[in-house]
A = this chain, B = another copy of it.
Amino acid sequence: MYFHVQQLINEIEQDEPDPAAANALQEGLGGQFGEMRTMMQYLFQSMNFRGPSAKPYKDLIQGIGTEEISHVELIGTTISRLLDGSPRYQGKPTDPVDAPGAKGAIPLNIALSESNIHHYLVGAQGAMPVDAAGNPWLGSYVYNSGNLVLDLLYNLMLESTGRLQKCRLYEMTDNKTARSTISYLIVRDQAHENAYAKALETLGVNWRTALPIPKTNAEKFPEVARLLEMGLQSKQYSFDLTNQSEAGKIYQGLSPSGDGTQLDASEQAPAGAPMTIGAERFEEFAPGADADLQELIAATAAMEMADIDRTFGEMR
């Protein structure tokens, strides 16, 4: 069973809209080696896990899988922010249902020449479950052979490939909104790479100097270096509410990446960052409420929350 808090797993920096960067980041969300894929692969491996005596391995996969749902949320939100406002259209705030095309204006013309046109035509300046070339995410991406060593080996390769692609993404754009998320994911992918490499170490493989794969020297990227100094590449959170995860039996000791750090699984979750709700975009008819609807929405939002508050327990 899963729970949610209204916080992002990491902060997204403010910068200008950048639809080309938004499109590139779609690879990290809906691509074959993106966050939707890692998330789904680990959830399926957890559900179908075999071998009660190997619980620490299941817990490791389940914990990373839970983190990936938050990564989907993070990178999806980042893409939305990069798209948001890119048409540079200024609707009149006094008129709840605006008429952006009135008199024949073309405020969405940007869709014809930048990014994926679906971002403006099918979505409303928001993220989509597709890759950077527009291919929809595919269930056949998910790998779950049932063989423990093979699944771990694939997961190691998957995280390494994810990190490789994000290093390439880093080199494609210097937009700060994009880079704050790219850099965070580069470091977290390495933490996960460490997790699967360490699990394979417990099963006999000696990586010696082979890791990290790829040898990216990502620490030369300034935004990444800052996170590495905080040791984020050697931490794994459990995201497990009732403290039953045994992943720490694997995620401990010297990092297989050879950077001299100790792996640490002692924290439940990172601190988190505030979530906000996107502004109305009149030119997209999103959310598309006219004066009447706005009034009904306002009435709903103004309802007294007292009774509800009383019944909710305090949990965190």
Contacts and interface: CB of A to CB of B under 8 A. Distances in A.
Interface size class of A (residues with CB under 8 A): 35 or more
Interface string A256-283: 0000000001111110100011111101
Interface string A36-79: 10001001100111111111111000110010011011001100
A104 to B, nearest CB: 6
A287 B164 CA distance: 12
A17 interface: no
B105 A171 contact: yes
A301 interface: yes
Nearest to A303: B249
B73 A209 contact: no
A278 B50 contact: yes
Contacts of A205: 205-208, 210
A200 B210 contact: yes
Given A139-B128, A200-B210, A301 B54 contact: yes
Given A6-B242, A8-B1, A138 B135 contact: no
Contact of A312 (B112, B243, B272, B307): B243
A10 to B, nearest CB: 9
A164 B147 contact: yes
Contacts of A204: 207-210, 292-293, 296
Nearest to A160: B150
B97 A145 contact: no
A232 interface: no
Given A30-B139, A51-B278, A148-B293, 5 more contacts: A3-B5, A23-B112, A49-B277, A129-B139, A202-B297
11 contacts: A27-B117, A51-B280, A56-B301, A145-B164, A146-B288, A153-B160, A205-B208, A206-B207, A215-B290, A250-B300, A315-B315
